[in-house]
Amino acid sequence: MTCSSVLRVATVVSREMEILKKEDGIIELSGIEGKFLNLILETLNLQLKVVIAEDHEWGRLLRNGSWTGMTGKIQQNKADIAINLIAITEPRNRVVDFSTVYLSDDITFAIEKQGFASTSTALIRPFVWGFWTIMFVVLFLMPILFRILLCAKDSYLNLLLKMLGTILKQSFSSKNNSFTHRILVITWLIYAMIISFSYSSVLLSILTIPSQIPTVRNFEELSDAVITQNYEAVFDKGTYVLDFLLHHESKRFNMLAEYAILNHWSMSAHPILFTPQINKRSAMVTARVLLQVVAGPEEWKWHFLSDDTILTYKFAIAMKKDFCLKKRLNTLISRVNSAGLYLKIMKDKEFQLWLPHPERRRTVNNTVRPLSFTDLIGAFASYLVGISISFLVLLFEIVCARFL
């Protein structure tokens, strides 16, 4: 069987597949997938005819049995192959054949890091609100327990102030030497010591080491944020991920996909380094290998990369069923995998992306510095509030002594 020297390639213009048509008609490809396609064309000695998927979709099965996007171009015999990070799925495999896998990856999301928490509120941040509530409930109940079990003559307010003092590392004075009293006091002192030391150590770490403001960390939190906090989550247009989420057993995942479809949350063609679609209230859901360019645990990266995943994909080139160069293409891809050429293309692209834009890197100052007034503004504010309350109480006592 004689194969044509012109290869019809269906694709979608994206940051991974950039297409530039020069004045002389020559087509120049760039991006990770573009360079990979160039390698295939040069090795197989084929000419390129680009077939653009106008709907900008990878391939989605419609109710009438036809397919959208790149998969649809092959189904309609308008293209021989399709390339641009096409995932192998069972429905697609019914209408197209797939080449040897050249990349395995999982689907995750990236969102902008929320930044560092202000140290001005450090006084209340060592414990979560739930623990503060429990601690104060215990503090207000213990004087009652002391009065009931010991028949203590001290007033409730006096006992409350004594117990609060022990948490603030003050002594607990009492003339009661009964065994029951000693057990209660020792138990309370151990509790107060643990609370006091825990608070002091955490407070010191907050003041000396900047702490990150928590952000959404997994798909469950992302779903809740989209549903209740007006967050956004953008997906590749026509991606199988949305179908997977729509049929997931989790209702939150179903709603996440429904919100994305109804609001047309699809990824734009902006270079990933400059995309405005990853911000503090918008996450991008796509392959991890793409998001790693701008997101990750590195301090110089602005975006958080989730460790969670909902799907693991194998990416390959889609081919029409009777494509005559299947064997040669599969052999070539196997050699590319063995040599690690695709990974090299990815690393080169990442380097080229960051090289002219060092200003896009996040700058974090980790130098040791003395505590400033801003760091301790919470302590000063608490002190002023206490002084103000004391002054008001003093005025109230003076007024009561003179006029009542």
Question: Across 263-325, where does the E strand assignment appear?
Answer: 282-287, 303-305, 311-319
Q: By the 8 A CB rule, do 189 and 166 touch? A: yes
Let me know how long the chain is. Answer: 404
The percent of residues in the chain predicted with pLDDT above 70, rounded, is 97
Segment 277-300 shows an average pLDDT of 90
Reply yes or no on whether the pLDDT at 1 is more than 70.
Answer: no
Confidence band for 49, pLDDT divided at 50, 70 and 90: very high
Confidence band for 367, pLDDT divided at 50, 70 and 90: low
pLDDT digits (tens, 9 = 90+) for 59-112: 888 989 999 999 999 999 999 999 999 989 889 999 999 999 999 999 999 999
Q: Return d(Cα 177, Cα 396) in angstroms, integer.
A: 37
Those residues with Cβ within 8 angstroms of residue 394's Cβ, 6 or more apart along the chain or in another chain: none
Quote the pLDDT of residue 404.
Answer: 64
Reply yes or no on whether the pLDDT at 115 is more than 90.
Answer: no
Reply yes or no on whether the pLDDT at 397 is more than 80.
Answer: yes
Quote the pLDDT of residue 369.
Answer: 66
Quote the pLDDT of residue 366.
Answer: 62
pLDDT digits (tens, 9 = 90+) for 312-346: 889 999 999 999 999 999 999 999 999 999 999 98
Spatial CA neighbour of 81 closest among 91, 70, 65: 70
Q: Return d(Cα 26, Cα 273) in angstroms, integer.
A: 28
Q: By the 8 A CB rule, do 299 and 364 touch? A: yes
CA angle 297, 294, 15 (to 5 degrees): 155
Question: Across 68-197, where does the E strand assignment appear?
Answer: 81-87, 97-98, 103-112
Higher pLDDT, 373 or 31: 31
CA torsion 53-293-221-59 (nearest 10°) is: 10
Q: By the 8 A CB rule, do 59 and 91 touch? A: no
Quote the pLDDT of residue 290.
Answer: 86
Quote the pLDDT of residue 336.
Answer: 94
Q: What is the mean pLDDT of the chain?
A: 87
Quote the pLDDT of residue 303.
Answer: 92
Lowest mean pLDDT among 8-12, 111-115, 315-319: 111-115
Q: Which two tokens stand for residue 221?
A: 């939190």
Q: Which two tokens stand for residue 266?
A: 């699809």
| 3-class SS shares of the chain: helix, strand, coil, % to 5 | 45, 15, 35
Q: Return d(Cα 221, Cα 250) in angstroms, integer.
A: 13
